[in-house]
Chains A and B, each alone.
Chain A
């Protein structure tokens, strides 16, 4: 029962263009969402988060959008840079789960120079 799904295993974009990574969730108790970035041979690192009381959160080139009615969130990276090439994980938290995070499968982003 995959409660957080990232349906695109991979995404390839040109440097300077926008990257859009998508994430869907099924558990209506989730009320806090995070994106992590992972480079090879390293652990995931936190990128950006959003609470369900907001529909958008922005941090530099990274913006996360939340559509609660559709149970969908997306991460926009503008402009994309080759150093953004990594696996991106969507994670969700909420209800009685305390600090527990439920992760999606991940999307491999490749930004081509």
Chain B
């Protein structure tokens, strides 16, 4: 079954304690992305990757890091989480569009993060 998986689904942590949210896809997609969803703000892109070892900042990258060492995995790292990073996080993947248009993105089930 084609899918994007994220772990953990729920996480409560304290300020400053480093954490990693994993993301994996089994569709051989080149493009992967992280979003956060906050009330009234919709889905905002944090980081994205167009292929292995190619990553770039999205709209709200501050306080986050990513890596893309393998095509299937795209972990999101919070080196020193703060309460304003409390949010619902989604990982997504798609084929890479090289011209006009975009391929549909497949989303993971989400990770609910609370930073106290």
* Contact indicator B109/A100 (Cβ below 8 Å): no
CB distance from A73 to the nearest CB of B (A): 15
Interface assignment of B84: CB less than 8 Å from any CB of chain A: no
Interface string of A48-74 (1 = CB under 8 A from B): 010100000000000000000000000
Known: A43-B107, A43-B110, A98-B50. A89 touches B42 (CB 8 A): yes
CB distance from A66 to the nearest CB of B (A): 13
List the A side residues contacting B103 at CB < 8 Å: 99
Among A36, A43, A99, A104, which residue has its beta carbon within 8 angstroms of that of B96? A99
List the B side residues contacting A82 at CB < 8 Å: none
* Contact indicator A103/B50 (Cβ below 8 Å): no
Bound complex: CA A97 to CA B63 (Å): 23
CB distance from B23 to the nearest CB of A (A): 11
Among B35, B104, B106, which residue has its beta carbon within 8 angstroms of that of A34? B104
* Contact indicator B41/A105 (Cβ below 8 Å): yes
* Contact indicator A105/B101 (Cβ below 8 Å): no
Bound complex: CA A34 to CA B94 (Å): 14
Interface residues on A, range: 20 to 34
Interface assignment of B7: CB less than 8 Å from any CB of chain A: no
Bound complex: CA A106 to CA B41 (Å): 8
CB distance from A51 to the nearest CB of B (A): 6
Q: Which residue of A lies closest to B29 (CB)?
A: A99
* Contact indicator A104/B42 (Cβ below 8 Å): yes
Bound complex: CA A61 to CA B43 (Å): 25
Q: Which residue of A lies closest to B40 (CB)?
A: A105
* Contact indicator B110/A42 (Cβ below 8 Å): yes
* Contact indicator B97/A44 (Cβ below 8 Å): no
> Using a CB–CB distance below 8 Å, which chain B residues touch chain A?
4, 31, 33, 35, 40-45, 48, 50, 58, 90, 92, 94-98, 100-110
> Using a CB–CB distance below 8 Å, which chain A residues touch chain B?
4, 6, 9, 31-32, 34, 36, 41-46, 49, 51, 89, 91, 93-94, 98-106
List 17 contacting pairs A-B, 8 Å CB cutoff, sorted by A: A32-B100, A34-B104, A42-B109, A43-B4, A43-B90, A43-B92, A44-B43, A46-B105, A93-B97, A93-B101, A98-B102, A99-B95, A99-B96, A99-B103, A100-B102, A101-B45, A105-B42
